[in-house]
Chains A and B, each alone.
Chain A
Amino acid sequence: MNDKPSQISREQGLQWLQDMLRIRRMEEKCAELYGEEKIRGFLHLYIGEEAVAAGVIPELAAEDAVVATYREHGHALVRGISMNAILAEMFGKQEGCSRGRGGSMHLFDAKTHFYGGNAIVSGGLPLAIGLALADKMQNRPGVTACFFGEGAVAEGEFHESLNLAALWQLPVLFVCENNLYAMGTALARSESVTDIHRKAESYGIDSTAVDGMDVMSVNTAARNALEKIRTQQVPVFLEMRTYRFRAHSMFDPELYREKAEVEQWKQLCPIATLSARLKAQQVIEDGDVAALEQATGEEIQAAVAFAEAGQWEPVEDLLKYVYTDSAQNTGQSGST
């Protein structure tokens, strides 16, 4: 693990706090809205893991691509998809970033090169390989950042993709968010080797384990990794050691882990620890945090109102967005 560097600038500190707070408060609101049945389907919260998205994504350039999983609200938000569009998507409204067709697990955004939102564990890895290959073949400077959980490591696609990335020397940043549980399956119950970054090493990929609860460590690792990827055109693998404070999804009664364990990890809350450190170093004051909270609360309120006011897509449009030329859609319906 990296050592925790000491001094953080005020500007940088506030930015991280803001990014993490926006994710945390937005998702807390989502949980509430889920209870009110405004948001339906599966909802996977990122709470506890915010340091990873906040530490990695701002280091990406505008032309870089992001591939994420079904636990992607935080990635989408930090990447620059508006909270309005994210909430509207979860409501299923056509103002959502995927026109309401994707929902919580399938946030997409062409403008920010955000390629999902993928509810197939490990399904995004081959996609990331291809996006990086396209950059390389067209001599574009882009890097593809691919986020996935440690559960994906058990899938064949993980190994196939790492092999290809190393074999073809592709500019991919693999970010494994190791939160120790795949739904209810603890890492040690599913992997013969639990030191995940060693698996990447076995493919000849530069790989590091990082304290994923500390945004500064995450950020330093990401910056170093991206520099290496950009200058040497090779993949790099980061294993972020993190933890989700909430259940896997809203349907999960969490019977597989001790409350005490969760409480212990909560002591490492990335927002609280950063805030405390910045205050101890007298870089920020209580008033700064209060101001951030205030602004975030207002943003959320506005986003909920935006989502509420959003429109349901007309049912007549049901067959749209299957093929590019929507006139072709009628082709497979026999009786109409």
Chain B
Amino acid sequence: MNITYREAMRAALRESLKQDERVFLMGEDVGRYGGCYAVSKGLLDEFGEERIRDTPLSESAFVGAGIGAALGGMRPIVEVMTVNFSLLCLDQIVNTAATLRHMSGGQFSVPVVLRMTTGAGRQLAAQHSHSLECWYAHVPGLRVIAPATLEDMRGMLRIALDDPDPVIIFEHNALYNREGELAEDVTVSEIRRAAVRRAGSDISLIAYGGNLIKALEAADELAKSGIAAEVIDLRSLRPLDDATILASVRKTRRAVLIDEGWCSGSLAAEIGMRISEQAFYDLDAPLARVCTAEVPIPYPGHLEQAALPQVATIVNKARELLGQNV
């Protein structure tokens, strides 16, 4: 079946709403407007205002309300338009959702699902383009996942809803319009596990979300010059699947980490450190990173593209590590 990522998420939402009466979707413009990325288009007609609930511009109150509703036995899916706006409800996510279970000595779980878009590439300038998922991946008590394939976009929501703890799903905005073949019967085996999206023996390209596409393109490019790159899709940013990452790096002995966050304090930095701690002597080359330049994302297209990880940069880094002339 040919389908877009947007349609895959919508199908997942529809299925969840049908399967479980406790599920409802809440957020700014999810209803009448159809979702600012048109993900929830049509759902209001199908499920009504109670369950496709438009909220005022009150990120803190409606995210907090999602947390409270989860405590009260519902299974809310709260859409925060973009990770940029989630800073207005950072308190509720970090100080409440992530802490209640611990501070109550295990008495209260918070089964809330938060969906937000992330990422740049649409010339929306700094306040709509940042990738801050590593801030959330820093926080114990949260689970952070990032679908990068159609199957994951379709399947991760169900798994997030089944999770008794707060889950944040980061959807890269550049993915929504992409089309592809979706297997009829989708089963996402395990969001906790990273996936090897392409096997290879010379170097590991480790990516997640929208940048998986770039990593796969880079691998195609490298193959032309005889380099077999292995591509790892993290899928879960918290917890990280060390085992899959290390198994790959021990095999290929080289790694490039691709992350749309800024280099400083990035998820790439964390993964690089884990590899150093656990597989230093297995490495044949220094670790390398392709991250976003240390600048708020600029508006002009050429500068925006220059700031972001690109296929060519990934290819060059990989060649460098393999001692090929760039």
Is A129 in the interface zone, CB < 8 Å from B?
yes
On whether the beta carbons of A133 and B101 are closer than 8 Å, the reply is no
CB of A109 closer than 8 Å to a CB of B: yes
Residue of A nearest to B99 (CB): A106
CB pair B105–A167 under 8 Å, yes or no, is no
What distance in Å separates the Cβ of A94 from its nearest Cβ neighbour in chain B?
8
Instruction: Given A101-B102, A108-B107, decide whether A126 and B63 contact each other with a Cβ distance below 8 A.
Output: yes
Minimum CB–CB distance for A71 against chain B, Å: 16
Chain B 223-259 interface residues, beta-carbon cutoff 8 Å to A: 238-242
A157 engages B107 (CB within 8 Å)? no
A81 to chain B, nearest CB (A): 12
Q: Is B184 an interface residue (CB 8 A)?
A: no
> CA–CA, A160 to B73, complex, Å?
23
A281 close to chain B: CB less than 8 A: no
Nearest residue, chain B, Cβ from A109: B107
Residue from the set A96, A102, A321 with the largest chain B CB neighbour count within 10 Å: A321
A28 to B103, CA, bound (A): 25
Asked if B240 and A98 make an inter-chain contact with CB atoms under 8 angstroms apart, the answer reads no
Which of B271-279, B284-292, B303-311, B315-323 contacts the other chain? B271-279
Q: Is B58 an interface residue (CB 8 A)?
A: yes
User: Chain A contacts of B100 at CB under 8 A?
Assistant: 108, 116
Nearest Cβ distance between residue B193 and chain A, in whole angstroms? Answer: 11
A127–B104 CB distance below 8 A: no
Known contacts: A134-B71, A332-B238. The answer to whether A117 contacts B107 by CB under 8 A is no
A103 to nearest B CB, angstroms?
9
- Does A225 count as interface, using CB distance less than 8 angstroms? no
Q: A123: which B residues are within 8 A, CB to CB?
A: 64, 91-92, 95-96
Taking CB atoms and an 8 Å cut-off, the chain A residues in 81-129 that contact chain B are 94, 96-102, 106, 108-110, 115-118, 120, 123, 125-129
Q: For the complex, what is the distance from the CA of A138 to the CA of B158, rounded to whole Å?
A: 21
Instruction: Decide: B140 and A332 in contact? CB cutoff 8 A.
Output: yes
The answer to whether A251 has its CB under 8 Å from any CB of chain B is: no
A167 to B101, CA, bound (A): 30
* B124 in the interface (beta carbon within 8 A): no
Chain A minimum-CB-distance residue to B274: A334
Q: Is the CB of A126 within 8 A of B109?
A: no
Of the candidates B50, B58, B96, B107, the one whose C-beta lies within 8 Å of that of A160 is B58
Given A99, A118, A325, A328, which contacts B105 in the complex, CB threshold below 8 Å? A99
Known contacts A120-B95, A125-B61, A331-B240; A138/B73 CB under 8 A: yes
B69 to A98, Cβ gap below 8 A?
no
Interface assignment of A287: CB less than 8 Å from any CB of chain B: no
Q: Which residues from A are CB-within-8-Å of B164?
A: 324-325
Within 8 Å of chain A (Cβ to Cβ): is B216?
Answer: no
Name the residue among B69, B96, B141, B164 with the largest chain A CB count within 10 angstroms. Answer: B69
> Which of A65, A156, A161, A332 is close to B239, meaning CB atoms less than 8 Å apart?
A332
Which of B24, B61, B106, B242 makes the CB contact (< 8 A) with A126? B61
B35 within 8 A of A: no
* Docked-complex contact A157 and B108, CB < 8 angstroms: no
- Asked if A131 is an interface residue, CB under 8 A from chain B, the answer is yes
Most chain B beta-carbon neighbours within 10 Å: one of A115, A144, A335:
A115
Determine how close the nearest CB of chain A comes to the CB of B292; give it in whole angstroms.
Answer: 23
Partner of B101, one of A126, A137, A321: A321
The residue in chain B whose Cβ has the minimal distance to the Cβ of A167 is B56
Q: Is the CB of A101 within 8 A of B103?
A: yes
In Å, the complex CA distance between A331 and B190 comes to: 14
Q: A164 near B: Cβ within 8 Å?
A: yes
Given contact pairs A164-B58, A322-B101, A332-B238, a sample of 17 additional A-B residue pairs in the complex whose CB atoms are under 8 Å apart: A97-B105, A98-B105, A102-B104, A108-B105, A108-B107, A115-B71, A116-B100, A123-B64, A123-B91, A126-B62, A129-B61, A131-B68, A132-B72, A134-B73, A163-B58, A321-B102, A322-B141
Give me the interface of A with B, judged by CB distance under 8 Å: 65, 94, 96-102, 106, 108-110, 115-118, 120, 123, 125-135, 137-138, 144, 156-157, 160-161, 163-164, 167, 320-325, 328, 330-332, 334-335
List B residues at the A interface (Cβ < 8 Å): 22, 24, 50, 55-56, 58, 60-74, 76, 91-92, 95-96, 100-109, 140-141, 143, 163-165, 192, 238-242, 270, 273-274, 277-278
Could you give 19 example pairs across A and B, Cβ below 8 Å? Answer: A101-B102, A102-B103, A108-B104, A123-B95, A125-B64, A126-B92, A129-B65, A131-B68, A132-B68, A133-B65, A133-B74, A134-B69, A134-B74, A135-B72, A138-B73, A324-B163, A325-B164, A332-B240, A335-B274
